[in-house]
Amino acid sequence: MKPCITRRIFSLLAEAERLHWFSVSEIIFEERFEGGWQSRWVKSDWKRSEGKAGSFKHTAGRWSGDPDDKGIQTTTDARFFAISAKIPEFSNKNRTLVFQYSIRLEQEIECGGGYIKLLSGFVNQKKFGGDTPYSFMFGPDICGTQTKKLHVILSYQGQNYPIKKDLECETDKLTHFYTFILRPDASYSLLIDGRERDSGSMYTDWDILPPRKIRAVKAKKPADWDDREYIDDPNDVKPEGYDSIPKEIPDPKASEPDDWDEDENGIWKAPKVPNPAYKGPWKPKRIKNPNYKGKWRIPYIDNPEFEDDPDLYVLKPIKYVGIDVWQVKAGSVYDNILICDDPEYAKQVVQEVFANREIEKEAFEEAEKIRKAAEEEEAQRAREEGERRRRERGHDLRYRDRHRDKYRRHYSRDFDDYHGGRIPRNSDMLNEFTRSDDQKSFL
């Protein structure tokens, strides 16, 4: 093939890609934390001078579906953790952004983050930390039993905007994948373990731009608006004699008692009973209103303050991926970080890792059995130690009480009764003054 024809083909391919005639999938960054990962990641000195900086270790964790599949795990409780990697610069303009990673919270996390950030511009990686500006933040944040938040924060024109929805993360101790997909039409999908958990649009789920539509608060319901769903049937007529039907009638089954005396009791009358023919006050039948227009609601109108930004979804060019979290208890294993433009490839990664899901569950259950057995053994030792100490204290108390009673009996022999009371003899009073302080305090 002639060189000029080859150049022309590549030129057409590039133009087609620019115009989105077709899309070529691209993996921007993928980190499985295999050999050489230390050369790609820089540990930050953030909080180190204060003695509050934690560190990461390369490990598969205490239970894993594949012991050779290692990630990086936070270590040392009550620490700040910060680490970042520089990646090939990319922009999500005119393309789908897919960001995904896995995390396993092996610890009783109590309070701490498990999210990841994407950063733009220049970042001093040795000083990267919580105050470093970012373009996107995504992942779990747990504190106590109430806060189980899943952060989705986007930066727009230098300001951070959290999603308005209350999204919850997973809190068990198994591996979970978190995936965020952002498309050029500003729509998004949020997946957990490869399954869509939520979706929507940046226009409605973030307070970045004013809403396209607003309620017409001055609008009033039109006078001819009929919001009655059912009406009385105008063709229904009350039957003749309906109002003359009595509510009660004499009981047809009743009969005058044999011993009834009209002179004494008056004329006998049968007791009243409800009339089965009586249907209550007459009401016309109810029918569907043919003029029903539905419940009137305040209409929406175009918001005069709304000004569209076709690049609303575009983040600043991404150059770094970073983890900076605080954890009361450490032990989170980060792995399988992926930035690409192909949601299908992201699903494949999840399926590949989850092929060993059952093995991971079994390993976790076995680890839980060992942990509970160790806790029970420790509790038993504590109970036995407590019982031993109680026995020792009981022996000491009996020894002390026995000698105290013996001393008191000896002391009380020198008292006489006098006018119903007990008066010490002169010799005893002298002994009282000559006793040592220890003897007096014992009494």
Q: For 284-331, what is each residue's pLDDT tens digit?
A: 999 999 999 999 999 999 999 999 999 999 999 999 999 999 999 999
| Residue-range domain boundaries for the chain | 23-207+313-354, 373-442
300 among annotated binding-site residues: no
> What are phi and psi for residue 34, nearest 5 degrees?
-95, -160
Residue 20: is its pLDDT beyond 90?
no
Q: How far apart are CA 43 and CA 82, in angstroms?
A: 6
Q: pLDDT, tens digit, for every residue of 130-143?
A: 999 999 999 999 98
Q: How far apart are CA 241 and CA 132, in angstroms?
A: 88
Cβ(152)–Cβ(167) below 8 Å: yes
> What are phi and psi for residue 190, nearest 5 degrees?
-120, 120
pTM comes to: 0.71
232 among annotated binding-site residues: no
Cβ(175)–Cβ(360) below 8 Å: yes
Cβ(306)–Cβ(262) below 8 Å: no
Q: How far apart are CA 191 and CA 47, in angstroms?
A: 33
> CATH class for domain 23-207+313-354?
mainly beta
- Report in angstroms the alpha-carbon separations of 184 from 88, 315, 397: 21, 11, 81
313 among annotated binding-site residues: no
Q: pLDDT, tens digit, for every residue of 184-229?
A: 999 999 999 999 999 999 999 999 999 999 999 999 999 999 999 9
243 among annotated binding-site residues: no
Question: Please, is 323 exposed, middle or buried when counting C-beta atoms within 10 Å of its C-beta (0-12, 13-18, 19+)?
Answer: buried
164 among annotated binding-site residues: no
